[in-house]
Amino acid sequence: MKASDVVDMVSYAGDSPVFEDPSAVGLEYEDVTFTTADGVLLSGWFIPGGDNIVVQTHFGGLSSRSGYTPNGKGDNPPWPSSIHYLRHIRALVDAGYSVLAYDLRNHGLSAADPAGKLTSGVRESLDVLAAVRYAVSRPGMENAPVGLLSLCMGANATTYAYGAAEGLSTVPNVRALIVVQPMVTIDQLHGMGIDDDELIDAASELNQAQGGIDLRTSFLPAVSEINVPTMLVQNTNDPLLRRASIEQYFISLVVPKEMLWVDLAPARLAAYGYFADKPDDMVRFFDTHVDPQTSASSSDEVE
Query: What tens digit of pLDDT does each residue of 224-283 get?
Result: 999 999 999 999 999 999 999 999 999 999 999 999 999 999 999 999 999 999 999 999
Question: Which residue(s) pair with 99 in the sheet?
Answer: 47, 54
**Rounded (to 5) percent helix, strand, coil in the chain:** 35, 20, 45
Residue 51 is assigned to a structural domain of this protein: yes
Average model confidence (pLDDT) across the chain: 94
Q: Confidence band (pLDDT; 50, 70, 90) for 295? A: very low
Residue 109 is assigned to a structural domain of this protein: yes
Residue 69: give the domain boundaries. 3-289
Helix, strand or coil, per DSSP, at residue 200: helix
For 6-28, letters b (16+ CB in 10 Å) and e give bbeebbebbbbbbbbebeebebe
- 153: domain CATH number is 3.40.50.1820
Residue 172 is assigned to a structural domain of this protein: yes
- 75 membership: H or E segment, kind and range: none
Residues 78, 267: contact at Cβ < 8 Å?
A: yes
| Per-residue pLDDT, 4 | 95
Residue 294 is assigned to a structural domain of this protein: no
Q: How many domains does the chain have?
A: 1
Residue 303 is assigned to a structural domain of this protein: no
Residue 298 is assigned to a structural domain of this protein: no
Residue 94 is assigned to a structural domain of this protein: yes
Is residue 294 predicted with pLDDT exceeding 50? no
Residue 296 is assigned to a structural domain of this protein: no
As a dihedral over the C-alpha atoms of residue 3, residue 184, residue 192, residue 11, rounded to 10 degrees, the angle is -40
Is residue 298 predicted with pLDDT exceeding 70? no
| Per-residue pLDDT, 303 | 52
